[in-house]
Structure 1
Amino acid sequence: MPEVRFTIRWPDGAEESCYSPSTAIKHHLQAGETYPLDEFLDRARKGLQAASDRVEAKFGFACSSAMNQLARIETAAKSQPFDGQVTCLSFS
């Protein structure tokens, strides 16, 4: 299962490299697209959950790394303006 790194830019301009255990995240975020913060969080939740579900289907257990990444995203989002925009810069 190919893991994916995706880079985002928070509303405050900080960039962050994020991890997904599968390409499922690409069904929820697009490189070069900008999302309102609440929409980004919804897409990140769905994408990382889908990625974790793929791991569970293949190996029999959920992916704690995907859930840890989601927790880091949700924690970082709390310090951002609620009306801010998050850009998905790239996938690698």
Structure 2
Amino acid sequence: MEKSTRTRSAIWFWLPAILSVGSLVDFIWYGHHIYNLLEAVGFGLMAFATYRNAPLNLKEATTENSYLFWISVTGLVVAICGMLVKYTIKI
């Protein structure tokens, strides 16, 4: 793997992983709100797909790894929904 790809993968792995852990800490110790759990699951799915070398777009996806792309997209949607609930609906 060339250096630029490895750096790109490291950034796209560690960023969602750290955000997932932060949201999980918020869920466990600071309120037990479902939106924190949604964010943790969404960021966790994104980190998992990146760890498994998911393609960044559907053009790069093959039949063997296209499911990783959809796991990453699902994680993104779940994380965005969690953030929308957190910042738009006051519970």
TM-score clears 0.5: no
TM-score range, shorter-chain basis? 0.3 to 0.5
TM-score by length of 2: 0.39
Q: Which has the higher contact order (CA 8 A, sep 6+)?
A: 1
Q: TM-score, length-normalised on structure 1?
A: 0.39
Of Structure 1 and Structure 2, which has the larger fraction of its residues in strand? 1
**Which entry has the higher C-alpha Rg, 1 or 2?**
2
